[in-house]
Amino acid sequence: MDFNLTEEQQLIQKTARDFARDHLRPGVIERDEKAEFPKEQIKMMGELGFLGMMIPEEFGGAGMDTISYCLAMEEIAKADASAAVVMSVNNSLVCALLYKYANENQKQKYLTKLASGELLGAFSLSEPQSGSDASNMRTFAKQDGDHYIINGTKNWVTNGISSDIVILMCMTEKDVGYKGISTFIVEKSFEGLSKGKKENKLGIRGSDTCELYFDDCKLPVENRIGEEGEGFKIALGTLDGGRVGIATQALGIAAESLERSVEYAKERKQFGKAIGQFGAIQSKLAQMAIHVDAARLLIHRAAKLKDEEKPFGKEAAMAKNFASKVAMDASTQCVQIFGGTGYMKETGVERLMRDAKITQIYEGTSEIQEMIIARALLEEK
């Protein structure tokens, strides 16, 4: 594996770092406190090409590789994990799905606007009774001439409130399990679609999450992606890429925790010397550094395999499982190093700990990632 970044990759990393410094770090604590969506910042990220990074330019994207996407995402997540998940969902779940599975008309109509940031997308798979067991959904689309009529409730939809377009997975045939699931493009203005209240969350409070209610929602047949029954494989195939994005969001939180901890260990004095001079603190810093680097290597391996169009589902699951644990551990240690100061909102480090937790839950819990890894191991020849 080549560990050197190309000039283009270094430039993207720097652009993201500068943008995060100038536009995401200011106000991040207040946005978290008020659970305020970073609307202006997301608009600017679209202008910079960060919302459709891996989509070719002909479809409104930036035409970059997955490593570049990870480099930019890490910088964004270091500053604001809420902005990072908005970016991850639009890139890896919405644009990537449309690019891989949608037809030419759908790409022209929707992908170009989503990849350029003109529109924002959401991905809706989960339902109240089907989280990890994703295929056990009930929302049903019944065909009626040139339309489908959709009824049901989806939940935990990231970008749910702010999105213009929702990629929806729902049943089109009963009693055939996952083979009855299809994928649709839903516009927010479609009659019969309504959005629930903005959920009040522990972390990533700047991103919005809500339920979606489909009450005889009328959707044209041409908005179905692929054939009926292909929806579950489309969703799982897309989530492999999504997990690289979320792993990188977790990495950003962990890297920020390490950086903040090192700075503080140098400046905070106790017993007459900087706390970084104590073995107990040094050990924490060293372990954090090892784990942050290991997480980055796992992520970049998965990204590289993806760019080479090789199977990467197991590697993405490994990266997400590991990086999310590293984010949780590193952010907790960061608060510990900051002590009482870290427990206060003003430092912003307690936010890292709250933001980290979701990375072990969404886009497949850590336990689901282990299931995916173990199944792949047992199936390997």
Catalytic residues: 363
46 in contact with ligand CAA (CB under 6 A)? no
Binder to ligand CAA among 19, 59, 123, 148 (CB under 6 A)?
123
Q: Which of residues 85-104 bind ligand CAA (CB under 6 A)?
A: 85, 89
**Distance in Å, CB of 225 to ligand CAA, minimum:** 14
- CB closer to ligand CAA out of 205 and 260: 205
Residue type, 152: G
- CB closer to ligand CAA out of 13 and 182: 182
Choose one: 113-121, 168-176, 287-295, 362-370; the region binding ligand CAA (CB under 6 A).
Answer: 362-370
- CB closer to ligand CAA out of 60 and 364: 364
**Distance in Å, CB of 143 to ligand CAA, minimum:** 23
- CB closer to ligand CAA out of 29 and 236: 236
What tokens appear for 75 in the block? 């910088």
134 in contact with ligand CAA (CB under 6 A)? yes
364 in contact with ligand CAA (CB under 6 A)? yes
List Cβ neighbours of 103 (8 Å cut-off, separation of 6 or more): 225
**Distance in Å, CB of 169 to ligand CAA, minimum:** 9
70 in contact with ligand CAA (CB under 6 A)? no
Q: How many residues bind to ligand CAA according to rule CB under 6 A?
A: 24
**Taking the CA of residue 277 as centre, how many other CA atoms within 13 Å lie in the half-sphere pointing to its CB?**
8
368 in contact with ligand CAA (CB under 6 A)? yes
**Distance in Å, CB of 179 to ligand CAA, minimum:** 8
140 in contact with ligand CAA (CB under 6 A)? no
**Distance in Å, CB of 378 to ligand CAA, minimum:** 12
Q: Which of residues 179-218 bind ligand CAA (CB under 6 A)?
A: none
126 in contact with ligand CAA (CB under 6 A)? yes
Choose one: 127-135, 197-205, 267-275, 341-349; the region binding ligand CAA (CB under 6 A).
Answer: 127-135
Q: Please answer whether residues 29 and 348 qualify as being in contact, where contact means their C-beta atoms are separated by less than 8 angstroms.
A: yes
233 in contact with ligand CAA (CB under 6 A)? yes
**Taking the CA of residue 340 as centre, how many other CA atoms within 13 Å lie in the half-sphere pointing to its CB?**
0
Choose one: 108-116, 221-229, 237-245, 299-307; the region binding ligand CAA (CB under 6 A).
Answer: 237-245
Q: What are the residues binding ligand CAA (CB under 6 A)?
A: 85, 89, 123, 125-126, 132, 134-135, 156, 158, 178, 232-233, 236-237, 239-240, 313, 362-364, 368, 371-372
